[in-house]
Amino acid sequence: MKAFVTGAAGFVGSHLCEYLIERGLKVVGIDSFMDYYSRAVKEANIAALKKNQNFRFIGKSLLDVDLAKLLDGVDVVFHQAAQAGVRASWGNNFKIYSDNNILATQMLLEACRESPVKNFVYASSSSVYGDTKDLPTKESSLPCPVSPYGVSKLAAEHLCSLYCKNFGTPTVSLRYFTVYGPRQRPDMAFHRFFRWALEDKPLEIYGDGKQSRDFTHVKDIVEANWLAFRKAAPGEVFNIGGGSRVTLNEVIEIIEEIVGRELKIRYRGVQKGDVRHTMADMTKAEGKLGYRPKVSLENGLRTEYEWIKNSAK
Ligand code: UGA
Query: Looking at the predicted structure, is the pLDDT value of residue 312 above 80?
Result: no
| Ligand 1 nearest-atom number relative to CA 268 | 33
Whether 86 maps to a domain, the answer reads yes
Mean pLDDT throughout 57-68? 98
pTM over 0.95: yes
CB burial readout 268-302, b (16+ within 10 A) else e: eeeeebebebbbbbbebbeeebebebebebeebbe
Answer whether 146 contacts ligand 1 (Cβ < 6 A). no
pLDDT for position 175: 99
| Average per-residue pLDDT for the chain | 97
Whether 157 maps to a domain, the answer reads yes
Whether 208 maps to a domain, the answer reads no
For the stretch 212-238, pLDDT in tens is: 999 999 999 999 999 999 999 999 999
For the stretch 240-287, pLDDT in tens is: 999 989 999 999 999 999 999 999 999 999 999 999 999 999 999 999
Answer whether 177 contacts ligand 1 (Cβ < 6 A). yes
Whether 129 maps to a domain, the answer reads yes
Angle (CA) 288-3-96 rounded to 5° is 90
129 a catalytic residue: no
Q: Which domain holds residue 16?
A: 2-177+218-241+281-293
Cα torsion for 300, 303, 309, 312, to the nearest 10°? -90
Answer whether 154 contacts ligand 1 (Cβ < 6 A). no
| Ligand 1 nearest-atom number relative to CA 209 | 33
Answer whether 248 contacts ligand 1 (Cβ < 6 A). yes
Whether 63 maps to a domain, the answer reads yes
Span from the CA of 58 to the centroid of ligand 1 (angstroms) = 29
The answer to whether 86 touches 127, Cβ cutoff 8 Å, is yes
Answer whether 159 contacts ligand 1 (Cβ < 6 A). no
Select which of 97, 122, 129, 149 is catalytic. Answer: 149
Residue nearest to atom 8 of ligand 1 (CA): 178
Query: Looking at the predicted structure, is the pLDDT value of residue 210 above 90?
Result: yes
**Residue 124 banded pLDDT, cuts 50, 70, 90:** very high
pLDDT for position 236: 98
Residue nearest to atom 34 of ligand 1 (CA): 205
Answer whether 36 contacts ligand 1 (Cβ < 6 A). no
Share of the chain above pLDDT 70, in %: 100
pLDDT for position 8: 98
Query: Looking at the predicted structure, is the pLDDT value of residue 77 above 80?
Result: yes
Query: Looking at the predicted structure, is the pLDDT value of residue 64 above 70?
Result: yes
pLDDT for position 114: 86
Longest dimension (CA), the chain: 57
What single-letter DSSP state applies at residue 270? P
Span from the CA of 296 to the centroid of ligand 1 (angstroms) = 18
Share of the chain above pLDDT 90, in %: 98
Q: What length does the chain have?
A: 313
**CA distance linking residue 284 with residue 141, whole number of Å:** 13
CATH number for the domain that contains residue 12: 3.40.50.720
pLDDT for position 269: 98
For the stretch 112-123, pLDDT in tens is: 998 889 999 999
**Residue 313 banded pLDDT, cuts 50, 70, 90:** low
Answer whether 126 contacts ligand 1 (Cβ < 6 A). yes
pLDDT for position 126: 98
| All residues at 6 or more sequence positions from 136 whose CB lies less than 8 Å from its CB, including other chains | 214, 245, 279, 280, 281, 282
Whether 144 maps to a domain, the answer reads yes
Q: Within a 13 Å sphere around the CA of 37, how many CA atoms are in the beta-carbon half?
A: 20
For the stretch 125-179, pLDDT in tens is: 999 999 999 999 999 999 999 999 999 999 999 999 999 999 999 999 999 999 9
Mutate to test the pocket of ligand 1, among 154, 176, 178 (most ligand atoms within 8 A of CB): 178
Number of domains the chain contains: 1
Whether 263 maps to a domain, the answer reads no
Residue nearest to atom 23 of ligand 1 (CA): 189
| Ligand 1 nearest-atom number relative to CA 84 | 5
Whether 101 maps to a domain, the answer reads yes
